[in-house]
């Protein structure tokens, strides 16, 4: 259920409303019946714009090579797997 935040243009009353997508948007302030506007929370934007994770990934590039490099071992998986005997 999405949460919409509203703010009243008349009295600046702010409130959240839980609405389904099929519900009509609210247009009236529950306090003064004035005109309200939708307020989109900036929480998600703040996280995306902080960019702290960028420095984190930059550090990783200078760290020791990943251990994911496989040793030079023969890979038997290259051989075709024989299908089950049709018997």
Binding site for Zn ion (CB under 5 A): 8, 10-11, 13, 29, 31-32, 34
Nearer to Zn ion, 26 or 32 (CB): 32
Nearer to Zn ion, 35 or 47 (CB): 35
For residue 10, the minimal CB distance to Zn ion (Å) is 5
For residue 4, the minimal CB distance to Zn ion (Å) is 16
Residues 6+ apart with CB under 8 A from 35: 8, 9, 10, 27, 28, 29
How far is 7 from 23, CA to CA, in rounded Å? 18
Task: Determine how many CB atoms are found less than 10 A away from the CB of residue 29.
Answer: 21
């Amino acid at each position: 259920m999405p949460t919409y935040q509203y703010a009243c243009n008349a009295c600046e009353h702010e409130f959240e409303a839980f609405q389904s997508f099929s519900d009509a948007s609210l247009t009236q302030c529950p306090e003064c019946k004035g005109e309200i506007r939708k307020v989109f929370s900036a929480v998600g934007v703040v996280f995306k714009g902080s960019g702290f994770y960028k420095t984190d990934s930059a550090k990783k590039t200078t760290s020791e090579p990943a251990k994911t490099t496989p040793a030079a071992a023969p890979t038997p998986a290259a051989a075709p797997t024989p299908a089950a005997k049709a018997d």
